[in-house]
Amino acid sequence: MKNLNLIFGVSSLVFVFLFSPALNTIAQTETPPAPAPPKSISVPAAQERKLPNGLTVAVIERKSSPLVTAQLMVRAGASSEADNKAGLANFTADLLTKGTTTRSATQIAEDMAFLGTELNTGAGWNSSTVSFTATPDNLPGALEVMADVVMNPTFKQEELDLLKSQTLDELKYNLKQPSFIGNYVASKFTFGEHPAGGTPSSINTITRDDVAAFHEIYIPQNSVLIFAGDITLEQAASLASKAFASWKGGRPLAKGDGISVGRSRDSGRMLVIDLPNSGQASVTYALEVSGVGRRDKRFYDAAVLNSVLGGGYSSRLNYEIRIKRGLSYGAGSNFAWRGLNSDFATRVQTKNVSAAEVAQLTVAEIKRLTAESVPNGELVPRKSTLTGNFGRNLETTAGLASAVAELYSYGIPASELNNYMSSVNAVSDAQIRDFASKNLLGGDLIIVGDYSVFKNDLAKRFPNMKVDVIKADDLDLSKDNLRK
């Protein structure tokens, strides 16, 4: 009986707490606290020194950290490779750690592990990087291994063959995934570029001679060695001079390498990649933004706009498509930056039956940006998301080094990091509306999925648009018409 009284007593308390008119009134009238004012961030000025061989050494001191990140940025990425050799920049970067004239791939990994770190390599559109993070006492040894893989790779045929096989297997799988196909097709159809990761035909043609020739762009004059953490410029220059003293030769970066320019193309098209029996469909709205590159001050307008439209869980696309209607697990957008232009795209994966509806909702949200104000209650939190992520990324030495490397790859002074917070917070609703009106209308719609399921609905929602349909099995990005 006591237990029953106890249960009913607790239940009564819960009932009173949840349904008491006084408490309920308080809950309804209480407003959440206002967002805290944005925190400022101060990044120490980058100190530079050019070595006799032409290598630029840049240091951002952070004495509070017991670590140092070293990142070598070479201005040679996918933009420096020929279309019919797409994937070559990635291959070159990946093969650097697969053996040198003095170390095998296993020895490279073991030497770095002994020093408590590992080498990371990669290639993007604008540049290639080699990096590691180590304690100051292990920095000389790790830097020696880094210099070895950069200067003395052997590019063994068996390693190249293995990498080609793995890449082709991965592509074969990915070319059955709607979202991958959407991004893959947009690169050629909308942006006039080749897929940075390569195509089946381009991967098959890459030879060891191709990789060795691309590696010739890896020269000191094209590179910046960035140190972030507990190190001074004198220490960094001394270590770099010792490790990279013999780095010479190669070929200078050709005019136009590493820089994308605006490309003329048709706009406002609709392309369907028919993938019969696909479980899902992907919807992409893609547009090249000519004349607005990473060095343009409108970069900040675009960044805030993207945060409002598709830059996170609370963005408009995600709210309208996922939260409000339950049509997707997530919807977003992004700008891929180039030197003189940028590639803008939205991305949503949904059921085939709702593909046309999602396409219509996406276009409507972009148009709304051009016609309606973004209220301050929405704009301030979206800016805070940007500045908060930016600040967190710079808390680690690796994040700081990567941010500085990105600026160097575009020829932007490292001091621009200290302008990020104020530049983002200065963007107005009028600037967002102006940017959207001038740059985001008339994009291409690319839908990948089972066309038979959404064909009729697509025609109803977009009655004035011509639909170009390509069977997924017939897709070939090495051809201008995208067909085999």
Walking along the chain (484 residues) 10 residues at a time, the average pLDDT comes out as 43 40 46 60 89 96 94 96 96 98 97 98 97 98 98 98 98 96 96 95 97 96 96 98 89 48 65 97 97 96 98 96 97 96 97 98 98 96 95 95 96 93 97 98 97 98 97 92 93
Q: What is the pLDDT of residue 177?
A: 96
What tokens does 437 get? 């009106």
* Cα distances (Å, whole numbers) of residue 154 to 91, 92, 202, 208, 428: 13, 11, 22, 10, 53
Homologous superfamily of 47-243 in CATH? Metalloenzyme, LuxS/M16 peptidase-like (3.30.830.10)
User: In the prediction, which pLDDT does 253 show?
Assistant: 54
- Which residues share a beta bridge with 287? 344
The pLDDT, as a whole number, for residue 287 is 96
How many Cβ atoms sit within 10 Å of the Cβ of residue 392? 10
**How high is the pLDDT of residue 8?**
39
For the chain, how many residues are written? 484
pLDDT tens-digit series, residues 419-474: 999 999 999 999 999 999 999 999 999 999 999 999 999 999 999 999 999 999 99
Alpha-carbon span 99 to 90, nearest angstrom: 16
pLDDT for res 146: 98
Name residue, tokens 């050019």: 50
Q: Are 241 and 49 in contact (CB under 8 A)?
A: no
Q: Which residues contact 74 (CB under 8 A, 6 or more apart)?
A: 127, 128, 129, 217, 218, 222, 223
Measure the CA–CA gap between 61 and 238, rounded to whole angstroms: 15
Q: Please give the pLDDT value at position 18.
A: 39
Structure tokens at 113: 């592990």
Burial class (CB in 10 A: 0-12, 13-18, 19+), 418: middle
Alpha-carbon span 125 to 102, nearest angstrom: 30
Structure pTM? 0.88
Q: In the chain, which segments carry CATH 3.30.830.10?
A: 47-243, 270-474
Contact 146, 410 (CB under 8 A): no
> How many Å from the N-terminal Cα to the C-terminal Cα in the chain?
80
Write the class of the CATH domain 270-474: alpha beta
What's the pLDDT at 44?
A: 86
Residues 383, 126: Cα–Cα separation, whole Å: 27
